[in-house]
Amino acid sequence: MQRVLGIILAGGSGDRLSILSQERAKPAVPFAGKYRIIDFALSNCVNSGVFNVAVLTQYNPRSLMEHIGIGRPWGLDRTHGGARLLQPYRGREGGDWYRDTGDAVHQNLYFIQEQRCDQVLILAGDHVYTMRYDVMINYHRQRSADVTVGVVEVAPEETSRFGIVTLDHMNRLKEFQEKPKSSKSNLGSMGIYVFEKETLLQVLDEAGGKDSGTDFGGDIIPQMLGKHKVYGYKHQSYWRDVGTIQAYWQTSMDLIVDLPPLNLYDPELTIMTSGENAAPVKAGPNAQISRSLICDGCIINGEVRNSILSPGVYVEEGARILDSVVFNDTVIGRGAIIEKSIVDKSCWIGPGCHIGFGDDFTPNTEEPQRLSSGITLVGKGARVPEGVKVGRNCKIGVWVEPGDFEGHIVASGASIDRKSPRRFHV
């Protein structure tokens, strides 16, 4: 769309994703095999005709920046507009780490002022969905709104995870509660805002000098009610915040049902990504694959059921992967079993291992609020020695070595951390 600037907030650390976001920003976490989470916001922009996009990074940005590059996979490698990566900075007139969503945008007001745009589309970079933003922007324009908030119905038991809004009969916002313990409304904010440029500059300038928070959901939008024309736009299709381990795993499993609620095969809403060229999938003579997503470069000699495999995964003879997600270039050894687990990139699971073993659902002792639903995590680069059995809700840390294991049983709820610093070779 003409005269629209897109801003994607992609600096969050994603602590609730535990070790999956330990060495990468949350929007850079792999999803659905071949994608990164941020691909959905970027692709939605392009599919909606928004080709002037700034991505605000902060926490562990390297893999995210390498993934986006100059924006070529999304057609955002342009002389005018295109994809720009903006980082926090220190200067003579201030600047610092971003405190929250509003502060991140406020520290880039100079950039927004320079853009030839009428509206600013602000997006979270860590949600999974397809959406035509141009429809929402036209809705905003038709109502001469100062700001329009994207909203979606959420399950009543999930309202405490979201900003909850109440709309009147004209869809104007009456109330915005940030993560209430209970609420009469089940309309959750999607973290999508269409601002008039001048309105955004005004409210951020007013909020910028405050010592209190400047989060869009917690502070800015609630303070605009009664002073500005604030509307809600109801999104009717699939949308998920994958900010927790359980939500990430369940959203992944949603993709492999017979009729998935998120259609990755819609040619009008294509999800684009960057990626290396890889050989086709190879299934050996004893391979068994059912209801799974298997990416290029995988070699399957065992069983894969109800699972998602990123590029380059090698499944040896007799190995079984069940109800799990396995990231790039991981090797699952002969006879090993991976059950209801998420295994990060470049791991080696030794022969005869069983990850996700048993029926003991004791919560993780280090992260009981994040790991309590039976899902076990194996961190990036971990090497699990032959024959080890790892229970439920376990956490195998990043770059763990065989010597970090003290026995052949890791009890449910336990964590294994690397004992010695990792050595980097130049």
Q: Which residues, 6+ apart, have CB-to-CB distance to 210 below 8 Å?
A: none
Residue where the block lists tokens 């916002």:
173
pLDDT the model gives residue 419 = 86
The pLDDT of residue 337 is above 90:
yes
- pLDDT tens for 382-424 read 999 999 999 999 999 999 999 999 999 999 999 999 988 776 5
The pLDDT of residue 425 is above 70:
no
End-to-end Cα distance, the chain: 46
The pLDDT of residue 210 is above 70:
no
- pLDDT tens for 43-100 read 999 999 999 999 999 999 999 999 999 999 999 999 889 999 999 877 656 567 888 8
Number of C-beta neighbours around residue 179 at 10 A: 14
Question: Taking a C-beta distance cutoff of 8 angstroms, is the pair 353, 318 a contact?
Answer: no
pTM (global) more than 0.85: yes
Question: Which has more pLDDT, 278 or 194?
Answer: 194
pLDDT the model gives residue 426 = 38
Question: Taking a C-beta distance cutoff of 8 angstroms, is the pair 377, 342 a contact?
Answer: yes
pLDDT the model gives residue 93 = 61
Distance CA 274, CA 272 (A): 7
pLDDT the model gives residue 207 = 78
pLDDT the model gives residue 91 = 65
What is the chain's percent helix, strand, coil content, to nearest 5? 20, 25, 50
Which string of b and e fits 254-277 if b means at least 16 CB within 10 Å? ebbeeeeebeeeeeebebbbbbee
Mean pLDDT of all residues belonging to the chain: 93
Question: Which has more pLDDT, 348 or 218?
Answer: 348
- pLDDT tens for 254-311 read 999 999 999 999 999 999 999 878 899 999 999 999 999 999 999 999 999 999 999 9
Question: Taking a C-beta distance cutoff of 8 angstroms, is the pair 261, 254 a contact?
Answer: yes
Confidence of residue 29 (pLDDT cuts 50, 70, 90): very high
The pLDDT of residue 247 is above 60:
yes
Q: What is the DSSP secondary-structure string of 263-328?
A: -TT-GGGPPP------PPPEE-TT-EEES-EE-TT-EESSEEES-EE-TT-EE-TT-EEES-EE-T
The pLDDT of residue 212 is above 70:
no
**Domains defined for the chain, CATH in brackets:** 4-264 (3.90.550.10), 282-416 (2.160.10.10)
Question: Taking a C-beta distance cutoff of 8 angstroms, is the pair 37, 17 a contact?
Answer: no
Question: Which has more pLDDT, 207 or 36?
Answer: 36
Q: Which two tokens stand for residue 253?
A: 């499993």
Backbone angles phi, psi at 53, to 5 degrees: -135, 130
Percentage above 90 pLDDT, the chain: 85
